[in-house]
Amino acid sequence: MTLRSVDHALTVLEILREEDSIGVIELAERLGVAASTAHRLLATLVARDFVVQDRDDRRYRLGDAAQGLRREIAAEECARRAREVLVRLARMTAETVNLAMLDGSDVLYSDCVPAGYPGAIPSRAGLRSEAHCSSAGKALLADFPQSAVDRLLPHDRLTVRTRATIATKTQLARELGLVRRRGYARDVEEWEAGTLALAVPVRARGMQRLALTIAAPHTRLRIDRTGTGTTPRERELVLRLRAASEELQVRLSR
């Protein structure tokens, strides 16, 4: 590729970042090149999975490679702007704090401030977990209508990680109903035995959907496992999570 073609390729990605799709003739006019040149440029980007062509309307849209890059950039930017809030929350609660986002049917942990005591939950930054068995994932899924959850999780049987993991979409639908009524999500040894977590969504205008979580060993985070009540420690942590989420929403919406 020449420097000019590299510049044109980056321009294509910038256009598709702002717009849903583009056609060959339209792109050629935008770039000021021949239609054959625009077609070759798009074919190169398609070969590298940065762009895909829709079978129905023959227009071009961002591909998985570009979408993945966008998610990584968004994760890094959100983590950078949220860092101060995470550090303060970890200090106030003395527990491990995570920032997470939904990536398909998974949760991606973009940043973490681990607690400093022996046996604390280690950093999950850069790791993934299935959304249906993590507090962050359930907090995020609860913001979607059931039809959207069905698209993300098309099969009724769900991946089981521990004896406590939600195993079917019917069970998950009931759980998400509880999350909506409570206003926060819980992970009671569903993703990892011995680990409990609480999460609230962060609804920042124009930003990636995020969740803020507090995770701790079951020996420290005493909660009502029946789901019918709450302990003083759970109520305290949820209040701190909500306050941190509100602050983070303001920061990320600027």
Q: For the chain (length 254 residues), average pLDDT per consecutive 10?
A: 65 73 85 85 80 80 63 59 90 96 88 94 92 96 90 92 95 95 95 96 74 95 79 94 92 74
CATH 3.30.450.40 spans which residues of the chain?
67-252
* 252, 206 Cβ separation under 8 angstroms: no
Look at residue 51 in the predicted model and tell me its pLDDT: 80
CATH 1.10.10.10 spans which residues of the chain?
3-62
- CATH class for the domain made up of 3-62: mainly alpha
Look at residue 191 in the predicted model and tell me its pLDDT: 95
Look at residue 37 in the predicted model and tell me its pLDDT: 85
Rounded Cα–Cα distance for residues 110 and 30 (Å): 36
Global model pTM greater than 0.85: no
Look at residue 185 in the predicted model and tell me its pLDDT: 96
User: 67-252 has which fold?
Assistant: Beta-Lactamase (3.30.450)
Tokens 């609804």 correspond to what residue? Answer: 203
